[in-house]
Amino acid sequence: MADTGWTRRDTLGGAALFALVVGLPVAAVRMSDAAADVTDRQRRILRVAAQTVIPRTATPGAGDIGAHDFVILALAHGLDGTRAPTAGAALPATVARHLRSDGTLDYLDWLEWQLDARAHGDFLAAATARRQAALGAIDAEAFAESDRDAPESPWKKLKALILTAYYTSETGGSRELQYELVPSKWEPDLPFVPGSRAWSSDWTAVEFS
């Protein structure tokens, strides 16, 4: 691979996080499956996308903590139905063109094509503002409520996996959110002040499957 920045250590870190989330031993996570269809460029694009979704603030961003490697592994193992065959007839051409021979969607091929198209060239070479605008347009379309009958955008699954990776990591679960291993007692009414962080025990927005 041309990009020597993607090391075995990086991928093993993503494997450890993935195994923790889905309850598998790290040895059971098939590393070769994850790398088989993913180019170095797609990995870099996914890292930028993850960092744009959750940028660095007082805590590291999603790209900083390796959320993109978790997503690569999650896609390889079909987390959240991402390896299920898709009904091609119901898909727009912009999605159908990225189907594999077995009918499953190549999410990272789709994301690469979409971001390059919306950045009017090489997404990775574009200025930060153009990158953000390209991803922002995809996000706005994916979560628009104007056409509820339209096929679901692949970006919804990708974004959900990025959020899962981040908020089940040490950084997201105990630094971005507040974490207390053994709560002392039930407090039904606590004061809230601006800047208070949510509790990691309350983050129940994701169903693992």
The 10s digit of each residue's pLDDT in 69-87 is 989 989 988 888 998 887 6
pLDDT at 24 over 90: no
Mean pLDDT of 155-183: 82
pLDDT at 193: 76
pLDDT at 149: 66
CA distances from 65 to 60, 121, 143, 172, 195 (A): 7, 28, 25, 9, 23
pLDDT at 141 over 60: yes
pTM: 0.75
pLDDT at 37: 79
Main-chain dihedrals φ then ψ at residue 154, nearest 5 degrees: -60, -25
pLDDT at 197 over 90: no
Beta bridge partners of 105: 99
Mean pLDDT of 8-19: 48
pLDDT at 181 over 70: no
- The better pLDDT of the pair 23, 164 is held by 164
Average pLDDT, rounded, for the chain: 78
- Please report which confidence band the pLDDT of residue 162 belongs to, taking 50, 70 and 90 as the band edges: very high
User: CA-to-CA distance for 53 and 170, rounded, in angstroms?
Assistant: 18
DSSP-H helix ranges across the chain:
8-22, 31-36, 40-53, 67-76, 93-96, 107-118, 128-142, 154-167, 170-171
